[in-house]
C-alpha cells in the first residue's frame, strides 16, 4: 500500500502569464513620468530646479513601500493586500492625470510609488504557488513581465503624449490599474500567512534578517552593481542619441528602447539554470555580461548606422545580465523560507535600488562634465565591482557549504 502524499500541484501556465502581465502593468506606473518631466512641470507650474522631484518622489514612495508595505505579504492575506494597493495606485494616477498644481501632482507621485510595490508582492506569490523544482523558472517568467513593463513604460508614455497629452498617459494608466485590481481579486487564490507577529515586530525584524542573511547581502550587492550600470546606461544613452552625433528624435529613441526589451528573455533562462543548481556560474555570466556591454559600447565606428547597431547589441547584453541576476537573486532568497519571502524581497529590491539611484545620478554628472566615454567607463565599474565581490566570495567559500551564492 502506497501511503506517500500526492505531489503538490505546480503553478498553472495561465497563472504565470497573469502574474507576469500584472507585474509589468503595475511597475510601468513608476516610469511614465520620466520622459514627461518637461510638459508636466510646464503645465503644473513647477520650476526647472524642482522638476526632478517628479521622478524622485515616485522613487522615494517606492522605496518606502518596499520597506513598509511589501513586508505585509508575510502578515496579511496577499490577495487583499494587492487589491487595496492597486485601488490606491489607481486613485493616485487619476489625481496625477487631473492635477493642475505642482503640489497635487507631487503628492500623487509619492502615492503612485507607494502603491506600485504591489508588483513586489506578486513575485513572491509566484514562488508560493510553485513547486521547488520549478520555482526559479516561474519567478523568472514573472520577472520578465516586470522588466518588459519597465522598458515599455518610457516609450509608450512618449508616444501617447505625442499623439494626445501627458494627462492621457496617467488617465489610461489609472483605468488599466483599476481593471487589473478587480481581475486579480477574482483570479488570485487566497494566501494567508501563518505569522502571529504584529506590524511593529514585522518591521523590526527587517534589520535582523539583513544582519543574519548573508545570501541576501551578497545577492543585493551583485544586483546593485548591475542595476547601477543599467540605470546609468539608460540615463546617459538617450542624451547621447539626442545629441549632435546621432541627432535622433524622441520617437527614434523610443524605438531604440523597445529593441532593448529583447534582454528580458534571459529571465526564465536564468530561472531554469537556478532550478538545475547552476546559480554560482550563471551569476558570474550575468556580471560578465554587464562588463561586456559597456566594453562593446566603447567601440565607436564612423558609420552612424553601425554605431547605433553596436549600442543596440550592448543594450540587449546589459539587459540580459540585469534580468538574469535579478531572477537568480530572487530564486536564492525565496529558497530561505516561505515565512520571510516578502520581507526578504522588499529588502533585496530596496538595497539594489540604492545602486540604481547612484548609477543614474553619477552617470548624468560624469556625462555632462567628462563625456560619453567617461560615462561608459563609470558604468563598467559597477558590474566590475560586483564581479570582484563574486570572486572574493568564491575564494572564501567553504568546500562543504551548500549555501546558494
Question: All 3 cell numbers of residue 85?
Answer: 494597493
Question: Residue 236: its pLDDT value, please?
Answer: 86
Question: Residue 162: its pLDDT value, please?
Answer: 80
Question: Residue 22: its pLDDT value, please?
Answer: 97
Local confidence band at 57 (pLDDT 50, 70, 90 cut-offs): confident
Evaluate if residue 2 carries a pLDDT over 60. no
What digits encode the pLDDT tens for the residues 80-137?
Answer: 999 999 999 999 999 999 998 999 999 999 999 999 999 999 998 888 888 888 888 8
Q: At 4, is the secondary structure helix, strand, or coil?
A: coil
Question: Residue 247: its pLDDT value, please?
Answer: 83
* Region 202-405: CATH code: 1.20.1250.20
Local confidence band at 3 (pLDDT 50, 70, 90 cut-offs): low
Local confidence band at 49 (pLDDT 50, 70, 90 cut-offs): low
Evaluate if residue 196 carries a pLDDT over 90. no
What digits encode the pLDDT tens for the residues 227-237?
Answer: 999 988 988 88
Mean pLDDT taken over the chain: 88
How far is 267 from 145, CA to CA, in rounded Å?
9
Question: Residue 6: its pLDDT value, please?
Answer: 55
What digits encode the pLDDT tens for the residues 207-262?
Answer: 999 999 999 999 999 999 999 999 889 888 888 888 888 888 777 877 887 887 78
Q: With b meaning 16 or more CB within 10 Å and e meaning fewer, what string describes 328-358? A: bbbbbbbbbeeebbbbbbbbbbbbbbebbbb
CATH 1.20.1250.20 residue ranges for the chain: 10-193, 202-405
Element (H, E) at 234: helix 214-242
How far is 380 from 362, CA to CA, in rounded Å?
13
Fold of 10-193: Growth Hormone; Chain: A; (1.20.1250)
| Residues 271, 137 contacting (CB under 8 angstroms) | yes
Q: What's the whole-model pTM score?
A: 0.85
Evaluate if residue 321 carries a pLDDT over 80. yes
How far is 216 from 245, CA to CA, in rounded Å?
42
Report the pLDDT averaged over residues 322-343. 90
Question: Residue 48: its pLDDT value, please?
Answer: 66
Question: Residue 405: its pLDDT value, please?
Answer: 53
Evaluate if residue 400 carries a pLDDT over 80. no
Amino acid at each position: 500500500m502506497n501511503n506517500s502524499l500526492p505531489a503538490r500541484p505546480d503553478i498553472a501556465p495561465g497563472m504565470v502569464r497573469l502574474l507576469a502581465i500584472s507585474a509589468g502593468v503595475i511597475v510601468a506606473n513608476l516610469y511614465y513620468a520620466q520622459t514627461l518631466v518637461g510638459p508636466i512641470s510646464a503645465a503644473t507650474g513647477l520650476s526647472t530646479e524642482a522638476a526632478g522631484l517628479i521622478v524622485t518622489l515616485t522613487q522615494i514612495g517606492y522605496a518606502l513601500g518596499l520597506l513598509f508595505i511589501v513586508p505585509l505579504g508575510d502578515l496579511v492575506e496577499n490577495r487583499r493586500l494587492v487589491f487595496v494597493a492597486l485601488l490606491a495606485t489607481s486613485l493616485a494616477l487619476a489625481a496625477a492625470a487631473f492635477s493642475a498644481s505642482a503640489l497635487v501632482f507631487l503628492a500623487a507621485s509619492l502615492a503612485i510609488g507607494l502603491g506600485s510595490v504591489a508588483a513586489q508582492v506578486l513575485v513572491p506569490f509566484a514562488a508560493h504557488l510553485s513547486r521547488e523544482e520549478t520555482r526559479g523558472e516561474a519567478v523568472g517568467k514573472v520577472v520578465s513581465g516586470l522588466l518588459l513593463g519597465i522598458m515599455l513604460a518610457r516609450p509608450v508614455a512618449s508616444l501617447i503624449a505625442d499623439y494626445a497629452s501627458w494627462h492621457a498617459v496617467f488617465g489610461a494608466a489609472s483605468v488599466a490599474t483599476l481593471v487589473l485590481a478587480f481581475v486579480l481579486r477574482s483570479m488570485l487564490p487566497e494566501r494567508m500567512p501563518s505569522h502571529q507577529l504584529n506590524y511593529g515586530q514585522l518591521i523590526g525584524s527587517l534589520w535582523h534578517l539583513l544582519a543574519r542573511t548573508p545570501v541576501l547581502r551578497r545577492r543585493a550587492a551583485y544586483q546593485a552593481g548591475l542595476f547601477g550600470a543599467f540605470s546609468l546606461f539608460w540615463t546617459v544613452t538617450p542624451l547621447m542619441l539626442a545629441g549632435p552625433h546621432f541627432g535622433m528624435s524622441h520617437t527614434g529613441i523610443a524605438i531604440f528602447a523597445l529593441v532593448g526589451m529583447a534582454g528580458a528573455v534571459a529571465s526564465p533562462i536564468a530561472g531554469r539554470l537556478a532550478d538545475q543548481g547552476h546559480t554560482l556560474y550563471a551569476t558570474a555570466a550575468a556580471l560578465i555580461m554587464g562588463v561586456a556591454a559597456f566594453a562593446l559600447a566603447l567601440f565607436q565606428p564612423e558609420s552612424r548606422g553601425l554605431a547605433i547597431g553596436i549600442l543596440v547589441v550592448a543594450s540587449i547584453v546589459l539587459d540580459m545580465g540585469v534580468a538574469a541576476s535579478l531572477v537568480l537573486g530572487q530564486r536564492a532568497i525565496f529558497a530561505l523560507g516561505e515565512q520571510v519571502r516578502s520581507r526578504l524581497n522588499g529588502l533585496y529590491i530596496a538595497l539594489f535600488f540604492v545602486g540604481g539611484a547612484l548609477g543614474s545620478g553619477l552617470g548624468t554628472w560624469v556625462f555632462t562634465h567628462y563625456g560619453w566615454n567617461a560615462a561608459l567607463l563609470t558604468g563598467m565599474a559597477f558590474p566590475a565591482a560586483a564581479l570582484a565581490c563574486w570572486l572574493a566570495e568564491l575564494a572564501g567559500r567553504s568546500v562543504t557549504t551548500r549555501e546558494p551564492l
